[in-house]
Chain A
């Protein structure tokens, strides 16, 4: 990961400080490194120059001391030299290596040579310069120089000649008679370098710390308004538009704050518009929903009324039969009583009056039962009560109304009820509506002379399935096409003529059976017939919330 990559997790201020500090430290290192190196070189050159001058001078002055091998004279010479800074030792040896004079500790005996310098070209080239590290760690330079003398020879021809004093001097006349070696310590050099390094580090630190302080203050000037912006943005993102950015500056940040505040203002305005719109939308939705609910309730009710209408004829017939008996017997009884005087009423007469009255009572009860049944069916109550019911009995009640209509349409009814089916939790009036819907549909699909079979059976429990009551209603009518069979439970889908069906019968029935936790299955073959199977499971335990529509 790059430096900037790893910095990305830091805040703006830290990034700024780290980057600038690194730049400063790097610059300081480069600059002070260069300066110290140069300082080192200059110091060293100076030291060498000084040493060379010293050694050359010493070698020159030591000429006679060496020739004479006078230790005291040489010691005097060395004593003078030793007063100079940085000198550790001075050694003067004869040409054959014999030690003539020595002062200081000759560290070279136990030292290791590290570099060799052949000497600077501005000198005579006779210098031997080498750097050593002594056994005790002291670093020093040793500078050596030969001690020379000039042999003067006077040719025989020139002997005694006044002018023959001219001395012919050439290279061959110079003879090395000894050697001067001077040890110069590098400790002072190193001390100076160390001082410079310490100064450089301290300076770098001072610069970096000052830079950090200045930068922090400066970055603060930039980041504080940004933080304030971030804070306000955060509030806005939480939906609080009451805050504004309080920055009174005329620079770019001030402009940013200003435009940000303008943005908040326009956001506030839009939010208010949206809220207002939402409010009216909500009202509209509530209004429309309630309209729709009303319309739906009306449709369901009208579907029920349509089903009742279908039944009206059958009900009328069903009522008119017992009413005929009631009216007839009542009139007949009245007639009989009017014919007789109170005195000559015989036991036989009373017996027949009783019989007529019994008939009237019986027929009246029949009427009552029919009316109750009809009321049960057409009840508009919104609360759906589930009770423990016998599906066979509900089917019988339904068929009471249907039988006559089936008869008009010359359709035979075959009942095949399983009397051992268990009772279920259900709403008889709703189930009656479902059965009526399906039977009426079957009737409309059937030709005269055809048959409709209504059967019940018990589907026994298996594993987690607790068993179910199955009601099948089958006809031998025209059947339902494959295309239509998918749509039959959709609201308003009907194949009947306009005005003959609402298209809600099966959709409402489906809803009712769903409420009973059951399902309706359809199996149809065009021109062969249709079987509707209603399956109502036994385990459905209804919570109070499910009991209302």
Chain B
């Protein structure tokens, strides 16, 4: 399924297991990995991604700041937030529009795939479906 025009995804998480797992299940996409906020910002500066999947809590630059930076740098990039916090309240107030989904860890393969596919298949990047929250396992 992987094509020359494969969609690019930036995976940002300080947890190696999470980065590796996401890379495995999203093997059809062009994956770039960043293990912290600083690295993510560098990568966003270098190039444009179709999708950024980012963790929230990271040492140094947080996921929230990564989202803000990405919004400014490339407003068309889609964003999915994944977090170890099961409650949205801890992040919702700091998140603006443009975050397509919020998945709380641990999430199923089906959930993350569904979110990613939804973003790329609709192709309607202007649609604002609001924040969707993963319903856990």
A interface with B by C-beta (< 8 Å): 313, 316-329, 331-332, 335, 359, 362-363, 403-404, 407-408, 410
Residues of A within 8 A of B108 (CB): 327-328, 331
**13 contacts across the A-B interface (CB closer than 8 A):** A320-B85, A323-B105, A325-B17, A327-B108, A331-B108, A332-B21, A332-B24, A332-B109, A359-B17, A359-B20, A359-B21, A363-B17, A403-B59
Flag if A324 contacts B62 (CB, 8 Å).
no
Looking at the complex, which one of B22, B25, B105, B110 makes contact with A320 (CB distance below 8 Å)?
Answer: B105
Question: Which chain B positions have C-beta within 8 A of A319?
Answer: 84
Please give the number of chain B residues whose Cβ is less than 8 angstroms from any Cβ of chain A in the complex: 26
Contact of A317 among B24, B59, B85, B137 (CB under 8 A): B85
* Chain A residues touching B, majority SS: helix
The one of B15, B57, B58, B59 that contacts A325, using a Cβ cutoff of 8 Å: B15
How many residue pairs link A and B with beta carbons under 8 A? The number is 78
- Those of B1-26 within 8 Å (CB) of chain A: 15, 17-18, 20-22, 24-25
Q: Which residues of B contact A317 (CB under 8 A)?
A: 57, 83-85
Query: Is the C-beta of B50 less than 8 angstroms from some C-beta in chain A?
Result: no
Min CB gap A403→B, angstroms = 8
Whether the pair B58, A328 counts as a contact (CB closer than 8 A) is no
B85 and A335 form a contact (CB under 8 A): no
Cα distance A332–B24 in the bound complex, in angstroms = 9
Q: How far is the CA of A332 from the CA of B108 in the complex (A)?
A: 9
The chain B residue sitting closest to A323, CB to CB, is: B106
Residue of B nearest to A335 (CB): B109
> Across the interface, do A329 and B21 meet the contact criterion of CB distance under 8 Å?
yes
Are B62 and A407 in touch, CB under 8 angstroms? yes
> Counting CB contacts under 8 A, is B107 at the interface?
yes
B106 interface neighbour in A324, A362, A408, A410, Cβ under 8 Å: A324
Q: Does B77 contact A (CB under 8 A)?
A: no
Nearest opposing residue in chain A for B15, CB measure: A321
Nearest neighbor of A359 in chain B, beta-carbon distance: B17
Q: Which residues of the other chain, A, contact B32 by a CB distance below 8 angstroms? A: none
For B75-111 the 0/1 string (1 means CB < 8 A from A) is: 0000000111110001000000000000011111110
B18 with A325: CB separation less than 8 A: yes
CB distance from A363 to the nearest CB of B (A): 6
Q: Are A321 and B18 in contact (CB under 8 A)?
A: yes
Nearest B-chain residue to A329, judged by Cβ: B21
Q: What B residues does A323 contact at CB under 8 A?
A: 105-106
Is B84 a contact partner of A328 (Cβ separation < 8 A)?
no
A326 to B17: give the CA distance in the assembly, Å. 9
Most buried by A among B22, B24, B84, B104: B84
Shortest Cβ distance from A408 into B: residue? B57
Complexed CA–CA distance, A326 and B15 (Å): 13
Residues of chain B within 8 A (CB-CB) of A316 are 84-86
Instruction: Give the Cβ gap from B86 to chain A, nearest Cβ, in Å.
Output: 6
